[in-house]
Amino acid sequence: MIAAADPAFVYLPSGRLSPIDGLDDLPAWRHLSAQVARDRLDLESQVRRVLLACRPALRDRLFGALLDLFLALDTRGVELRRQVLDQCGEHLEAEDEQFLRRHLERGLSADVPLPAGSAALLDPSISGARHLVAFQRRSVSESQGPLAEAIERLENGDLEGARTLLEAAVLREPGDEALARELQGIYHHSRDDAGRQAMVQRFQDELGHVPMLWQA
């Protein structure tokens, strides 16, 4: 459990939690959502995700991202919640901002009904339905190929499953640029340089060479 005095709850170092450059908005959103689904108290990913959703292409997801941060913190992290809301509030609908400000001081607990259509990843009222839909959609994505299945896994928080699936796929199809880009995005966002280097070594060991897409 994170103590209430943890600096992460009261201070955002300038620029440290800005969205990571080098990824398109939607892949970055998927990777951050997977991190949040796996660990709701990954505050770095939570805040990066909120700030990313301030960008025009993802602004319809901003309220849900803020709700996820509020739900994860519950009654803790008042200053963190206030700072993020102050920074992003101008991009929200007025009623959405008012809802969050009403719960700023006392926090947002899991038993508070959320506005309909909020699309919060951590909304407890729809978590069961989300798992069912994820299972049904995964059955479809599996028939569409490894990239579609990996994206589906990322969107539902299964970061490890997506990475494992993509690693196997790029070994089978080392020249597939889309597969390589998605897997490299996971390594990049997760700051997993060791994982990327291990993948390069697997190419060398299993294929006898490193594909051009992985030589940069």
Residue 50 or residue 15, greater confidence? 50
| Residue 86 pLDDT > 90 | yes
Q: Do 86 and 143 reside in the same domain of the chain?
A: no
The residue segments making up the domain with residue 175 are: 127-214
Say how far apart CA 70 and CA 150 lie, in whole Å.
Answer: 28
Instruction: Report yes or no on 94 lying in a domain.
Output: yes
30 and 81 together in one domain: yes
135 in the same domain as 92:
no
What pLDDT, on a 0 to 100 scale, did the predictor assign at position 121? 81
Residues ≥6 apart with Cβ < 8 Å to 35: 42, 45, 159, 189, 190
pLDDT band at 171 (very low <50, low <70, confident <90, very high): very high
Mention every residue, 6+ apart, whose C-beta is less than 8 A from residue 114.
67, 120, 123, 125
Which has the higher per-residue pLDDT, 60 or 119? 60
* 110 falls within a domain: no
Domain boundary among 102, 119, 141: 102
Q: Does 177 map to a domain? A: yes
Residue 200 in any domain: the answer is yes
**Residue 195 is assigned to a structural domain of this protein:** yes
Give pLDDT, residue 135.
43
Percent of the chain with pLDDT strictly greater than 70: 78
Query: Residues 73, 23: one domain?
Result: yes
- Is the predicted pLDDT of residue 189 greater than 60, yes or no? yes
CA distance 116 to 75: 22
In a domain, 41, yes or no: yes
Residue 128 has pLDDT above 50, yes or no: no
Residue 107 lies in a domain: no
What are 18's two structure tokens?
Answer: 């800005």
Q: Are residues 11 and 87 in the same domain?
A: yes
Q: Regarding predicted confidence, which is higher, 47 or 12?
A: 47
pLDDT of residue 192: 82
Q: Indicate the pLDDT class of residue 19, thresholds 50, 70 and 90.
A: low
CA dist list (Å): 146 to 16, 44, 165, 207, 212:
33, 29, 7, 20, 21
* 148 lies in the same domain as 87: no
Query: Which residues, at least 6 apart from 105, have a Cβ–Cβ distance to it below 8 Å?
Result: 78
Q: What is the pLDDT of residues 22-48, one digit of tens each?
A: 557 888 888 888 888 878 888 988 999
Quote the number of domains for the chain: 2
Residue 123 has pLDDT above 80, yes or no: no
- Give the pLDDT confidence of 131-170 residue by residue, as tens digits: 434 444 444 444 468 888 888 777 766 778 888 899 999 9
My answer on whether 39 and 91 are in the same domain is yes
The residue among 67, 102, 137 that closes a domain is 102
Task: Looking at the structure, tell me whether residues 135 and 98 fall in a common domain.
Answer: no
pLDDT (0 to 100) of residue 40: 86
- Collapsing DSSP to helix, strand or coil, 75 comes out as coil
**Same domain as 87, residue 14:** yes
User: Do 54 and 133 fall into the same domain?
Assistant: no
pLDDT of residue 88: 94
In a domain, 184, yes or no: yes
